[in-house]
Amino acid sequence: MKLFHNTYKYKLKNNIDSRGFFIEIFKLNQTSKKIKIKQVSHSFIKKNVVKGWHFHKIQTQWNYLLKGKIKVFLWDNRKNSKTFKKIKSFIIDAKIDKIAYLFPANVGHAYITLNKENHIMYGTSGYYSKKEEYKLEFNKKYIHNK
């Protein structure tokens, strides 16, 4: 599902059998441009934590919720975009949803954690650098209004 230009939410195929399951999370052929993942990170976040707004200046990022439940917010902050300053939100419950989402540079990411334990896997097209990112304060009114 396309959210904004070059911003997507993917329903992943969950291959289940008697041994467990197998999911292909980051399929780069699903994106509109040729992007390589240079770093994969794992984050554990406790319940009721709000993270965001977090933006990359150059990097594209993929996220996958391994465990937990979160409400995700994406904010298009690309000045030349038709959806400039628009916000999309959705809830992911890892027990039910097998979803990955991708967002390019200058699309902000925020979320609130809804379960006791939340584990997120991130894939980024570049290496971590404080110089490559910027943050804006997350207004909590978005939690219930979007």
Q: What is the CATH number of the domain that holds 109?
A: 2.60.120.10
Please answer whether residues 127 and 39 qualify as being in contact, where contact means their C-beta atoms are separated by less than 8 angstroms: yes
- List the 133-135 sheet strands across, edge first: 87-93, 69-76, 107-113, 50-56, 133-135
- The structure's pTM equals 0.85
Confidence at residue 145, expressed as pLDDT on a 0 to 100 scale? 47
Domain with 59, as residue range(s), is 2-145
Please state the domain count of the chain: 1
Beta-carbon contacts of 129 under 8 Å, excluding residues fewer than 6 positions away, are none
Pairwise CA distance, residues 75 & 53, whole Å: 8
Q: What is the mean pLDDT of the chain?
A: 88
Tens digit of each residue's pLDDT (9 = 90 or more) over 17-70? 898 878 888 776 666 567 788 999 999 999 999 998 999 999 999 999 999 999
- Comparing CA positions, the residue from 132, 121, 111 lying closest to residue 37 is 121
Please answer whether residues 66 and 119 qualify as being in contact, where contact means their C-beta atoms are separated by less than 8 angstroms: yes
Residue 85: φ, ψ to 5°: 70, 5
Least confident interval from 61-65, 89-93, 115-119, 139-143:
139-143
